[in-house]
Amino acid sequence: MPKILISDKLSPAAVDIFRARGFEVDLRPGLTPSELRAIIAPYDGLAIRSATKVTKELLEAATHLKVVGRAGIGVDNVDVKAATARGVVVMNTPNGNAITTAEHAIALMFALARQIPEATQSTKAGKWEKNRFMGVELFAKTLGLIGCGNIGSIVADRAIGLKMKVIAYDPFLSEERALALGVEKVALADLLARADIITLHTPLTEETRDILSRAALAKTKRGVRIINCARGGLIDEAALYDALRAGHVAGAALDVFAVEPATENPLFALENVVCTPHLGAATSEAQENVALQVAEQMSDFLLTGAVTNAINMPSVSAEDAPRLKPYMELCRQLGAFAGQLTQAREGVLRRITIEYEGQAAALNHKPLTAAALAGLLSPMFAGVNMVNAPVLARERGLDIAETVLDRPSEYQTLVRVTVETDEHERSVAGTLFAGAKPRLVEIKGIQVEADFSPHMLYVTNEDRPGFIGRFGALLAEAGINIATFHLGRASAGGDAICLVSVDEDVPEPVLDAVRRLPLVRQAATLEF
Q: Which residues are catalytic?
A: 231, 260, 278
Verify cis geometry, omega within 30 degrees of 0, for the bond prior to 266. Answer: no
CA distance 257 to 89: 28
The partner residues of 89 in beta bridges, in order of sequence, read 67
Name every residue whose Cβ is closer than 8 Å to that of residue 27 and which is 6 or more positions away in sequence: 6, 10, 15
- Residue pair 267/252 in contact by the 8 Å Cβ criterion: yes
- Residue pair 195/223 in contact by the 8 Å Cβ criterion: no
Q: Which three-class secondary structure state does DSSP give residue 140?
A: coil
SS (H, E, C) 229-298: CCCCCCECHHHHHHHHHHCCEEEEEECCCCCCCCCCCHHHHCCCEEECCCCCCCCHHHHHHHHHHHHHHH
Residue type, 439: R
**DSSP labels for 82-112?**
HHHHTT-EEE--TTTTHHHHHHHHHHHHHHH
CA distance 228 to 382: 43
- Residue pair 413/359 in contact by the 8 Å Cβ criterion: yes
